[in-house]
Structure 1
Amino acid sequence: MDFDAVLLLSFGGPEAPDQVMPFLENVTRGRGIPTERLAAVAEHYLHFGGVSPINGINRGLIEQLRAELVETGLELPVYFGNRNWEPYVEDAVKAMRDNGVRRAAVFATSAWGGYSSCMQYVEDIARGREAAGERAPELVKLRQYYDHPLFVEMFAESIADAAATLPAELRDDARLVFTAHSIPLAARSRCGEDLYARQVAYASALVAAAAGYRDYDQVWQSRSGPPQVPWLEPDVGDHLSALAQAGVKAVIVCPIGFVSDHIEVVWDLDNELREQAAESGIAFARASTPNADRRFARLVVDLINEMREGREPIRTQAPPGLEAPPLQGCSINGALCTPRCVKP
């Protein structure tokens, strides 16, 4: 399967204070979220001048991807589209149509399966093609990549870098904690029974092994919605409190569920959780995400070449006794890659 372009498809984020509330309204449209709740979340963005890091990180990744494509002999144009803010995916697909693109590989900035992590990007593809009309290019969403060797390598290296920032006398006993975005328990069975949670747990095990840790914890963060609706637990803040009560003196927090240091990393972890750790007398280190690492661009090119060459996916070998969860393949033109994916 040949491609004549690449589309980086992401979540989007505001880039000025007056964009924050319209962006949050886009994200939550149809969910009945009270205005006062949106205003509270808006303060997280305004703390950083109303600018989410995500668009800047993605632009940096696109530059790395363009360089990697040239270096490997695939001089494909790279387009950028978001779900919730400019540049919108609809505009990106229209530009591709106008530039004569016939088939593009779509790289989503989410490594996982599940509705929010995968199927919503499939819906974005379908919506973009509908906006572009009859001459819309064929769009092929590349597979999930939570166990790709480069994904594992980048996180393992970032854990080592984070550990090095702790006081020397605390490093050996620091507790490694992996965290990912929580989801409602009602969403666990979409796209396969517990698929998202199983993939996160598996990736955590792979990265811990690669980083040289036999013991670690895997928790969740950034839940939202009414408190009576159950979400995946334990919450990272509650877990940190439990560690403090157990006498833990240092933690390394790895945001395994995120591929960039966007607002739910730099606010929820770097501000709120770091402050909680300081109040509890715990030394805190946060591992970086892949962001615009050149290896991340190399990972994208590898996924593209898998499709071009029709070869088997490259996956990190599972440690003994650990079973790899399903790895869902590509989705073409917004069609579901598995009939088990259902809309909420």
Structure 2
Amino acid sequence: MSYDSILVVSFGGPEGPDDVIPFLENVLRGRNVPRERMLEVAEHYQHFGGVSPINAQNRALIAALRPELDAHGIDLPIYFGNRNWHPLLPDTLAEMARHGRRKTLAFVTSGQSSYSGCRQYRENIAAAQQVVGDDAPVIDKLRVFYNHPDYIAAEVERVEHEIAKFDAADRDQIHLLCTAHSIPDSMASRCDYVKQLAESTRLIAEAIGFPSDRVQLVYQSRSGRPEDPWLEPDVKDAMTALRQRGVNHVVIAPIGFISDHIEVLFDLDEECVQLADELKMTLHRAGTVGTHSRFISMIRKLIQERLAPGTPREAIGKFGPNWDVCAAGCCPAPQRPGRPEPART
């Protein structure tokens, strides 16, 4: 059976103040996150009027992808479904079933392998298929893209745009902090998340000509219980450490995110900017890849390589293209006290 549709799958976000708490309750259901932390994050959303830009940004991505597909003869409809807020995956899959869609390629808006960035999306898709029943389409996920040349090129252009804002005499003093969402150590130790982020960081630094001692992979937006270890260093701690070494020119590149949603806008554009002011650092934040033409081209190429076996599977760096079909035990959920191992999908 050939593919008859494309599905963009993302995290979802509230689109009004009344959505914030129900959305966060969806996100945190079954997780050991204190309620006070949830309310703290809720205030981040309310700071922006209770509206996350993520849905609008995904719609913009779909709008940019449509002509890219058309220009290369890929006449497949594009659908949009979220894990945590409307349009929710069960509703989108029900719509696809009504339209007679039987086999779909899914682009997940996460470039690295981890439980929360890959396997959980696959579990959510499987749960939505169960809700819809026998008429639900078969859905195959596209591979992760952390080392795709078009993704790296888009990241490099975003970073170089910020470097150009510094005086030419200062550019050999700039340090680059590549950020991604922190995850629990218990999750990170059972997947390739850190390895893939480190490779993206290395490829970007190499392309812009930065030596390794001026580039660092850091993390942001941790949640969970304070006593549980998560990936470090935090971006703000890294900024403070750099300032103590006499560094005062920094570019932050949020390589773990493809769009400027709340965790980018609040954690980087609010908190890190405030810290930079306190530290008397010059800080510029690179844009996410968003609808960059090279990134949209990359999505089209990932689709093409599945539609036409034998199409070159592009990747650069040490590891080559990732697999299309995840192994049964790939990226398991982190183990928590009293929580059984999740079902394998």
1:116 equivalent in structure 2:
116
Q: Pairwise CA RMSD of aligned residues?
A: 1.5
CA distance in 1 between partners of 2:33 and 2:200 (Å): 32
Question: Deviation digits for residues 58-90 of structure 1, max 9, x if unmatched?
Answer: 000000111111111112110000000000011
1:241 equivalent in structure 2:
240
The offset of 1:327, in angstroms, is: 5.0
Counterpart AA for 1:339? G
Structure 1 residues 260 and 302: alpha-carbon distance in aligned structure 2, compared to 1, 3 A threshold: same
Contact 2:175 2:251 in 1 (8 A): yes
Alignment of 1:224-239 (within 5 A): 224-239=223-238
1:6 equivalent in structure 2:
6
CA distance in 2 between partners of 1:34 and 1:231 (Å): 15
CA distance in 2 between partners of 1:96 and 1:219 (Å): 39
| Residue 273 (structure 2) pairs with residue 283 (structure 1) | no
Counterpart pick for 2:206 among 190, 206, 209: 209
The offset of 1:259, in angstroms, is: 1.0
| Residue 149 (structure 2) pairs with residue 149 (structure 1) | yes
Task: For structure 2, list consecutive stretches of 5 or more residues without a partner in the other structure.
Answer: 335-345
| Residue 339 (structure 2) pairs with residue 339 (structure 1) | no
The offset of 1:167, in angstroms, is: 4.1
CA distance in 2 between partners of 1:75 and 1:308 (Å): 11
Counterpart AA for 1:330? D
The offset of 1:32, in angstroms, is: 4.2
Contact 2:61 2:290 in 1 (8 A): yes
Contact 1:113 1:328 in 2 (8 A): no
The offset of 1:39, in angstroms, is: 1.5
| Residue 181 (structure 2) pairs with residue 181 (structure 1) | yes
Identity %: 45
Alignment of 1:244-283 (within 5 A): 244-283=243-282
Alignment of 1:300-339 (within 5 A): 300-311=299-310, 312-316=312-316, 318=317, 323-324=318-319, 327-331=321-325, 336-339=326-329
Alignment of 1:97-112 (within 5 A): 97-112=97-112
CA distance in 2 between partners of 1:59 and 1:234 (Å): 33
2:164 equivalent in structure 1:
164
The offset of 1:262, in angstroms, is: 1.0
Contact 2:313 2:321 in 1 (8 A): no
SS in 1 for 2:177: strand
The offset of 1:118, in angstroms, is: 0.7
CA distance in 1 between partners of 2:287 and 2:202 (Å): 17
CA distance in 1 between partners of 2:168 and 2:104 (Å): 49
The offset of 1:185, in angstroms, is: 0.9
The offset of 1:297, in angstroms, is: 2.0
TM-score (norm 2): 0.92
Question: Deviation digits for residues 273-311 of structure 1, max 9, x if unmatched?
Answer: 111011101000111111122322211110111111223
The offset of 1:242, in angstroms, is: 0.5
2:338 equivalent in structure 1:
none
The offset of 1:200, in angstroms, is: 0.3
TM-score (norm 1): 0.92
CA distance in 1 between partners of 2:34 and 2:259 (Å): 28
2:89 equivalent in structure 1:
89
SS in 2 for 1:105: strand
Counterpart AA for 1:181? H
CA distance in 1 between partners of 2:46 and 2:153 (Å): 33
Structure 1 residues 340 and 4: alpha-carbon distance in aligned structure 2, compared to 1, 3 A threshold: closer
Instruction: Report how many residues are paired.
Output: 331
SS in 2 for 1:284: strand
Counterpart AA for 2:194? A
CA distance in 1 between partners of 2:39 and 2:333 (Å): 28
CA distance in 1 between partners of 2:305 and 2:77 (Å): 18
Contact 1:185 1:230 in 2 (8 A): yes
